[in-house]
Amino acid sequence: MTYFKPIDVASIGIFTALWIVLHTTLGPLGFRMLHLPILCDVSAYLTLILVAWLTNKFGTATLTGIIGSLAVFLLRGSPHIWGFAASAVIFDVILLAVKHRIKMDAGSTVCLTAATLAAAYVAGVIIGVVFTANQTVEWALTFWGGWHVVGGILTLVITLPIIGTLEKAGVKTIAKTG
């Protein structure tokens, strides 16, 4: 018996493709318009939340983030994307607390919120410290990490209603049986 079933591999592929598209379009557009990383965070965590919700498996978010980051790096040459790859691992590990069962209940939502905001903050700090020239560690820990948290909050505001709608439509059941 294998850990990842074909539907899990397909889900990783689909959400990795979405990661790549969003990080090569929405993220840079938002950064050019606002000079802030918040849409880069939406590009990352929307895909991670949805793949974790659909598969309920540890590793799918990590693989989505790492494979997607590799592709974005090869396409755009943006080294900051590795901060998001690292944060995907953190996101995945924190979701172990609810066994990757993302539901529209208080416990799951609190864990998902903690995973998203912690991962976004870590991504911001890594990007700020390692990949942003002429900035201090304090700047990365406060300003840049803080703006990534704002991006994480925006992601939750966007993604939680999507999950609620998908749950009501029975999409998860269809994906598992179809």
Would you list the domain boundaries of the chain? 6-177
Residues of the chain with confidence (pLDDT) below 70: 174-178
What does the pLDDT look like over 23-63, one tens digit per residue? 999 999 998 999 999 999 999 999 999 999 999 999 999 99
Question: Would you tell me how many other CB atoms lie within 10 Å of the CB of residue 98?
Answer: 20
Angle between helices 106-126 and 81-94 (to 10 degrees): 150
- d(Cα 58, Cα 60) in Å, to the nearest integer? 6
The Cα-based distances of 24 to 2, 43, 96, 101, 177 in angstroms read 33, 9, 29, 29, 33
Asked whether the whole model's pTM tops 0.75, one would answer: yes
